[in-house]
Amino acid sequence: MVERPASVAKELIENAIDAGATQISVDYDDKGSSRIVVSDNGSGIHGDQVKLALTRHATSKIRGVEDLSVVSTLGFRGEALASIAAVSDLELVTRTRTSESAVTVSVRSGSIIDIRESGHSRGTRVDVKDLFAKVPARKKFLKTPATEFGALLDTVKRFALGYPGIGFELRHNGSAVLTTPGVDTDRARLSQVLGAEVSGDMMPVDCRHRGLSMRGFLSRAGRSFGSSRHMSTFINGRWVRDRAVFRSVMQGYRTYLLKGRYPAVSLYLEIEPHLVDVNVHPAKHEVRFSDPELVHNFIIESVSSCLQKGSTPVGRWGIDSAELRVREGLSRRGRPGAVPESRPVESTQAGTDSRDAARLPGYSPPAAAKEESSSVPEEQQGLDLGVGSAQGRLGRVEVIGQVFRGYIVCQADGELVLVDQHAAHERLIFEQLKKRASEGEMPGQQLLMPEAVDVGRGGVEALAKWREFLGSLGWDIESFGDGDVLVRAVPAVAAKADPRQLVEALFQELLDYGTATVTERLRDAVLATTACHAAVRVGQQLDVTAARSLLEQVASVEFAASCPHGRPVARVLTRSQIERMFGR
C-alpha cells in the first residue's frame, strides 16, 4: 500500500533489491513539496518492458503457480510502481547492462506522458514528486514532516539490517543521514546502523530447533531503552512487524526488563517455508505460522537461554557499561592525553577496617558498619543466609558497608561495587523458587486469618482458570463473593510479606500473563512477584555479616546479573574511573 513516503521508499527499495543492486541510495526532500528519489545499480529494465513495468499487475517476478509458494523476491504483486505513479509525478530512468543508452519515462497521475532515450549509468532511478498532491484525502493523513521522515529512516535502517552486503545511503534535504557501505558481517552492519555504542553491548545468538533457526544479536540484561525502535525482526530475509513475534521476544526478556522498557534486538529467523503461511498479504508486515506455538516457544526459549548464558560471564555485574562509557568519554574529552587504563592495580588491602572509611571527613558512618555482626534480619530468616559458598565474584568482594539503607558497598579487584540489596535478594529467591517449583516442592504457609482481597471480576475468572496451578506454587485461594477472593495460604517463602499487597501483585500478573499459552512464563511471573515481596526491602538495615552472606549466596546462583524484574543487581566503578573523577 502506498500510504506515506516511507511506504513508497519501501516499495522502491524492494524493487532495487530484487533487481540485484549492491548500492541503493534514497534522497528525500520535504522542504516545500516532498520528493523521493531511489537509485540503484541493479539489472535495469529493458526498453520494451518499461511500459509494462508501470502497468498494474504486470510483475515480471512470478513465472508459474509453483512460484507463489516459494516466493523469494520481496515484491510480487506487480502494482507498486503503478500505484505510486497514480498518486504522484513519477520519472523513471533505467538502463540494463547490455543496452547502450537509458530510457526515461515520465508519468503524470498514472498516465505515461513521455518516453525518451537518455543517458544514465546502469541501473534504475525512480523519482517521485508531489506525492498525493492530487489526492488531498490521502495527503491529509500524513503526519508531521519529522514523523514521516522518522518512518522513512526506520524503513531504510531495516533494509540495511536485513541486507548487510548492500550499501545504503539516505540523504534528507541534501545532507547524508545514514551511510552504510556494504559489509561482510551482520555485526559490522549492526554497528553501522545502531552505532558502535549500542551494538557493542549486544551479544550474538544462534539457535536451531526442528526446521527453525534464529541468528542475530540481543542487548544484554541490564541494558534497555525507552522505546522499541532498536528492535527488528526478519523472517526468511523479510522484515516483519508481527505482534506475536514481538511479544515472544519480549517474553524471552521477561525477567530481565522493567515494565515499559525495551531491548535492542536484531533477529534473523529462518523458518522452513511449509511452516509459514504465504497467503498473508505481503504488504502486511505480519506472518502466519502453521504451528504458531512451536515458533513462539522457540523464540522465547532462544532469547531467554541466550540471556541466561550471556548475563553472568560477560555482563558480570549487570552494569550498564554504556552509561559508564559515556561518562568516560566526557571526562576524556575534557582532558586529552588522559592516563591510559593499564596502570597496575594495587592489591586490595585484605581486611581493611570499614570503620576507617567511616572516619573520613564528610562521610557519615553507614549504619551497617557497626561492630557487632548481629543477627540476620527477620525477613531473611528461613532463607539459608550464611550457608552459600563463596564462589563467583560477588562472593569474593570485600563488604565495606551499607548506604542509604538500600545499597551494599564493596570493593574487589580494583573496582568499587554497589549492590542493590533488594534486587540481589530478589534474584536469589527467584532462582531458589524456580528450582523448588521445578522439583514440585513449593510449600504454602497457612495464614492465621484468611484474607479477603478484591480482585475484580477478571481476577475471579483468572482464579477459576489457574487455581490448581497456583496451588502447585504454594497458594490456597478461593473465590468469595462478587469480585473478591479469600486467601488461605501463601508461598512459605513470602509468609512475612503483606498478604494483601502480594495477592494484588499476583493477580496483576495473572491478568497480564494469564492468557499466555506457555504456563512457564506465567509461572516465572508469579515466582518473580513472590520473590519481590519476600526479598529484603530497600530501607532495611543490613549489617556487614548479613550483607556478605547475601552476596555469597547471590554469587552461588547461576545468573545474578539482574533481578527478575530487570533492574541491575550491581553497578561498578573501576579504579581508573574513580581516579578520573578526581582528575588523576
Contacting residues toward ligand ADP, per CB under 6 A: 11, 15-16, 19, 40, 42-45, 53, 59-61, 75-82, 124
- How many angstroms separate the Cα of 135 from the Cα of each of 28, 57, 313? 20, 22, 57
3-state helix, strand, coil in the chain (%, to 5): 40, 25, 40
Stretch near Mg ion under the rule CB under 5 A, chosen from 67-75, 192-200, 342-350, 556-564:
67-75
Q: What angle do CA 98, 101, 102 make, to 5 degrees?
A: 100
φ, ψ (nearest 5 deg) of residue 392: 75, 165
CB of 3 to ligand ADP, least distance (A): 15
Stretch near Mg ion under the rule CB under 5 A, chosen from 73-81, 142-150, 419-427, 458-466:
73-81
- Which residues between 280 and 319 bind Mg ion (CB under 5 A)? none
Rg over CA atoms, the chain:
30
Residue 479 touches which of ligand ADP, Mg ion, none (Cβ within 5-8 Å per kind): none
CB of 279 to ligand ADP, least distance (A): 16
**Residue 80 sits in the site that holds Mg ion (CB under 5 A):** yes
Q: What is the DSSP string of 402-455?
A: EETTTEEEEEETTEEEEEEHHHHHHHHHHHHHHHHHHTT---EEEEEEEEEEE-
Contacts of 297 (CB under 8 A, 6+ apart): 248, 518
For residues 344 and 414, is the Cβ–Cβ distance under 8 A?
A: no
Q: Whose CA is closest to 12, among 34, 39, 31, 35? A: 39
CB of 323 to Mg ion, least distance (A): 43
Closer residue to ligand ADP, CB minimum distance, 59 or 192? 59
**Residue 7 sits in the site that holds Mg ion (CB under 5 A):** no
CB of 207 to ligand ADP, least distance (A): 33
Stretch near Mg ion under the rule CB under 5 A, chosen from 75-83, 152-160, 396-404, 528-536:
75-83
CB of 84 to ligand ADP, least distance (A): 8
CB of 181 to ligand ADP, least distance (A): 20
CB of 319 to ligand ADP, least distance (A): 47
For residues 76 and 59, is the Cβ–Cβ distance under 8 A?
A: yes
Closer residue to Mg ion, CB minimum distance, 177 or 280? 280
Residue 153 touches which of Mg ion, ligand ADP, none (Cβ within 5-8 Å per kind): none
CB of 148 to ligand ADP, least distance (A): 21
Closer residue to ligand ADP, CB minimum distance, 40 or 431? 40
| Cα distance between residue 21 and residue 73, in whole Å | 13
Residue 327 touches which of ligand ADP, Mg ion, none (Cβ within 5-8 Å per kind): none
Cα 157 from chain centroid?
A: 16
Closer residue to ligand ADP, CB minimum distance, 76 or 225? 76
Q: In this structure, is the dihedral angle defined by the CA atoms of residues 296, 298, 300 and 303, taken in order, positive or negative? A: negative
Residue 59 touches which of Mg ion, ligand ADP, none (Cβ within 5-8 Å per kind): ligand ADP
**Residue 15 sits in the site that holds Mg ion (CB under 5 A):** yes
Determine whether 364 is exposed, middle or buried from the number of CB atoms within 10 Å of its CB (0-12, 13-18, 19+).
exposed
Residue 320 touches which of ligand ADP, Mg ion, none (Cβ within 5-8 Å per kind): none
**Residue 199 sits in the site that holds Mg ion (CB under 5 A):** no
Residue 43 touches which of Mg ion, ligand ADP, none (Cβ within 5-8 Å per kind): ligand ADP
| Cα distance between residue 352 and residue 369, in whole Å | 12
CB of 523 to Mg ion, least distance (A): 46
| Closest residue to Mg ion in the complex (CB) | 75
**Residue 42 sits in the site that holds Mg ion (CB under 5 A):** no
Which residues pair with residue 410 across a beta bridge?
399, 417
Which residues pair with residue 277 across a beta bridge?
288
Could you list the residues that contact Mg ion (CB under 5 A)? 15, 75, 80
